[in-house]
């Protein structure tokens, strides 16, 4: 299958755009700028954000998922459902997930059902909203500031993958002193952290 076809198929399950930053009507809406400013998956990759379209119907036997897990060392896996019926203290948790934070390890999410928004900062510190739908797998590098919310459907079933055991510790912004953040900045932003305001 050609790369152009694969990119098109990924864009069916992962779309990105610049946010309008107006959340008066809630964090679970698309919040497109006017006019809309879409962001390519290549631009996300420049930020270290990787993505795939996988077969959510056959995730237990999917050879491409198996290859990704083996080649990237994702040895631990679990499945979580973010919805009012399955997640205790749902509204408080969704609000907590929406706090801007980073992790010292990659964050890997594979959407098996439903959909949700992952917001990341571009190189100018502007929010990009990444809509991940069923079949979309996304990897956020260690040290990138991000946040998550379900969309207005209030449901996402996701596979969480980790290198080694699960690590869920969020470091809410600002945590620019962490080695993971410094490594991210050195790799993707290439500025001296001492000069960043």
Q: Is 63 annotated as a binding residue?
A: no
Q: Is 32 annotated as a binding residue?
A: no
Residues 6+ positions from 165 with CB-CB distance below 8 Å? 76
DSSP, residue by residue, 82-145? ESTTTSTTHHHHHHHHTS-EE-SS-EEEEEEEEEEEEEEE-TTS-EEEEEEETTEEEEEPTT--
Peptide bond into 174 cis (omega under 30): yes
CB 26 within 8 A of CB 153: no
Q: How far apart are CA 41 and CA 172, in angstroms?
A: 26
Q: Is 175 annotated as a binding residue?
A: no
Q: How far apart are CA 111 and CA 59, in angstroms?
A: 10
Nearest to 145 by CA among 171, 165, 167, 116: 171
Nearest to 130 by CA among 31, 16, 51: 16
Coil/strand/helix, residue 36: coil
Binding site listing for Ni(2+): 101, 103, 107, 146
Binding-site positions for Fe(2+): 101, 103, 107, 146
Residues of each annotated binding site: 101, 103, 107, 146
């Amino acid at each position: 299958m050609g790369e152009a076809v694969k990119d098109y198929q990924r864009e069916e399950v992962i779309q990105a755009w610049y946010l309008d930053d107006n959340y008066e009507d809630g964090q679970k809406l698309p919040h497109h700028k006017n006019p809309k400013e879409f962001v390519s998956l290549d631009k996300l990759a420049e930020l270290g954000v990787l993505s795939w379209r996988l077969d959510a119907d056959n995730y237990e036997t999917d050879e491409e998922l198996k290859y990704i897990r083996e080649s990237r060392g994702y040895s631990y896996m679990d499945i979580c459902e973010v919805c009012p019926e399955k997640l205790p203290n749902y509204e408080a948790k969704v609000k907590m997930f929406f706090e801007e934070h980073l992790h010292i390890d990659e964050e890997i999410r594979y959407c098996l059902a439903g959909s949700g928004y992952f917001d990341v900062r571009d190189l100018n510190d502007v929010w990009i909203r990444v809509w991940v739908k069923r079949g979309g797998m996304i990897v956020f590098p260690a040290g990138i500031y991000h946040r998550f919310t379900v969309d207005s459907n209030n449901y996402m079933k996701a596979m969480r993958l980790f290198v080694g055991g699960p690590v869920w510790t969020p470091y809410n912004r600002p945590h620019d002193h962490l080695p993971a953040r410094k490594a991210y900045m050195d790799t993707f932003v290439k500025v001296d952290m001492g000069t960043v305001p």
